[in-house]
Structure 1
Amino acid sequence: MQYLSDILLGVIEGITEFLPISSTGHLLLAEHWLGARSDTYNIVIQAGAILAVTLIYWRRIMDLLLNFRVPENRDYLIKLTLAFLITAILGLIVKKLGFQLPDTIQPIAWALVIGGIWMLVAEHFAAKLPDSSRITLRVAIAVGLAQVVAGVFPGTSRSAATIFVAMLLGTSNRAAATEFAFLVGIPTMYAASGYELLKQVSHGGTEGDWLSLAIAFVVSTITAFVAVKWLLTYIRSHRFTAFAIYRIAFGGLLLALTAAGILA
């Protein structure tokens, strides 16, 4: 049963980490029935999802790094770096202030519902803008800030926050906004995972079932790879409306279950 739980949690993490539906809410709900996992465990399965996106964008990443002298690449990479630095610096400040993620369902459920409504409104206004794939300086800054907001308010969804702020501020092309959001997310999530893992090592908290960790990691990587590949194809001809409706329905369900006393 333990390894079946690892497979299920790996699938949930892989599907929800980069889709704009919030991995936190889904994992909290899963852990309610399957049992809570260690911080190390959560870091490992998240790392699997990050690795999947790194593999998907590997050619794009290498092109940016190896052809830095090309003006377009240099400009893009500078803006990626700016967005990452904003997130990293503000994220460290938030950590130093002692911010703790909620471990209850209700605030995350509200974030899911409010975020879903916001996605519908944002999609409506973004559709009125002329199609543009350009990443401006203000888009880069806003994406960096959006990642911090998503980290402070679990359930917001990092991908949803970054994609839609980019779309509303001028990068109205869904594919371009998604690519920038995901590319910024790669170093951000590696850095966050590395930071948390070092904390675990320094406090001697990395002990556990290594086979369990390996299973969850592999499943998360494979599932995330498939999910993101599908998403990138889907958004070429579809809006994010279905994800917004799902968030509202899922958040509403969680609120109903907490009101009924089934979830805490």
Structure 2
Amino acid sequence: MSDLINVILLGIIEGITEFLPISSTGHLLIAEKFGLGERSDLFNVGIQAGAILAVTFIYWSRIWQLFTKWRDPANRDYLAKLFVAFMITAVLGFIAVKLGFKLPEAVTPVAWALVIGGIWMIAAERLAARQPDRTQVTWRVAILVGIAQMVAGIFPGTSRSAATIFTAMLAGTSNRAAATEFAFLVGIPTMYAATGYELLKVFKEGGVQHEDWSAFGVGFVVSAIVAFVAVKWLLGYIRSHRFTPFAIYRIVLGLALLLLIPAGM
């Protein structure tokens, strides 16, 4: 029963943190290190897939519109920018993986990433607020968002959503809702690709033979449900609120971890 509770808690953590700008990787690492136990790569892939599926459902009408009305110049332009951002992430990410360039998944670097990212979020939102309200996604935004996704992928604790949303806002799409939509839409194929890559690697390494499939299924479902609720709430929240509370939360959590780690925590 205790293991089932841990699985549910991990699914909840993933569902809440995957698309909120507070770092899912960092929170899962902290949770596993501080009591919920380490899980298999396949389990971690599964709960991430649940969160991605939830966001796909949320944006399904927008995705359907983009692909069924691609003859519309505005839709073609948006699709092209999504594709370019995705390809930049994919190519640079592949190079980074081949070179073995990734920070160790330890609590200390995650804590620093949370603090630095929180400070950057506050500064970035203030800078973006000084710009005219722009909803257009430019090519500069698409290119920089693609790079930001790759950077977030190799720095645990950075948060892919935070990196891409605020990069978009600073690069020209200053409107929070428009920047978030582009960041989430480009994140869907990126995360499906990353999940597929990890899943293929697990299968090749024989990790499926000893997998707890009941825990996998529970984690997947819990993550999907919680992510759906969390993202729906976030999309409503950002219409009239800033991201500052998330930034403050990151800073407080990161500093708390840095203070606790020397004491053996």
Question: With structure 2 as the length reference, what TM-score do the two structures score?
Answer: 0.98
For 2:196, give the aligned amino acid.
Answer: G
How far residue 201 of structure 1 moved from its aligned partner, in angstroms, is 0.6
Q: Which residue of 1 aligns with 2:243?
A: 240
Deviation of the 1:257 alpha carbon: 1.2
Shift of 1:217: 0.2
Q: State the secondary structure of the residue aligned to 2:234.
A: helix
**Counterpart residue number, 2:122:** 120
In structure 2, how many angstroms separate the alpha carbons of the residues matched to 1:57 and 1:82? 19
Structure 2 CA distance for aligned equivalents of residues 257 and 83 of structure 1: 38
Return structure 1 stretches of 4+ with deviation > 4 angstroms: none
Q: Report what 1:196 is aligned to.
A: 198
Which AA in structure 1 matches 2:244?
T
Corresponding residue number in structure 1 for 2:20 = 19
Q: C-alpha offsets along residues 23-73 of structure 1, whole Å, 9 cap, x if unaligned?
A: 112111111211100111100000000001000000000100010000110
- Between 58-67 and 92-101, report the one with greater CA deviation: 92-101
Q: What corresponds to 1:7 in structure 2?
A: 8
- Uncovered stretches (5+) of structure 2, i.e. residues with no partner: none
Tell me what 1:73 maps to: 75
Give 3-state SS (helix, strand or coil) of 2:172's partner: coil
Shift of 1:125: 0.5
**Given the alignment of the two structures, is residue 260 of structure 1 paired with residue 260 of structure 2, yes or no?**
no
Alpha carbon RMSD of aligned pairs, Å? 0.7
CA deviations on 1:170-214 (whole Å, 9 max, x unpaired) are: 100000000000000000000001011101111111231111100
Distance 1:28 1:201 in 2: 23
Mapped partners of 2:212, 2:53: distance in 1: 21
Deviation at 1:99, TM superposition (A): 2.8
Counterpart among 246, 250, 253 of residue 253 in structure 2:
250
Question: Match of 2:219?
Answer: 216
Q: Distance in 2 between matches of 1:122 and 1:251?
A: 19
**C-alpha separation between the residues in 2 aligned to 1:152 and 1:171?**
25
Equivalent of 1:230, from 233, 238, 244?
233
Structure 1 segments unaligned to the other structure (5+ residues):
none
Q: How many residues align?
A: 262
Asked if 1 retains the 8 angstrom alpha-carbon contact of 2:102 and 2:155, the reply is: no
Deviation of 1:255 after TM superposition, in Å, equals: 0.7
1:85-120, CA deviations, whole angstroms, 9 ceiling, x for partnerless residues? 000011101111123442210001000000000000
Alpha-carbon separation, structure 1, partners of 2:105 and 2:183:
26
Deviation per CA, 1:107-138: give whole Å up to 9, x if none.
Answer: 01000000000000000100000001000000
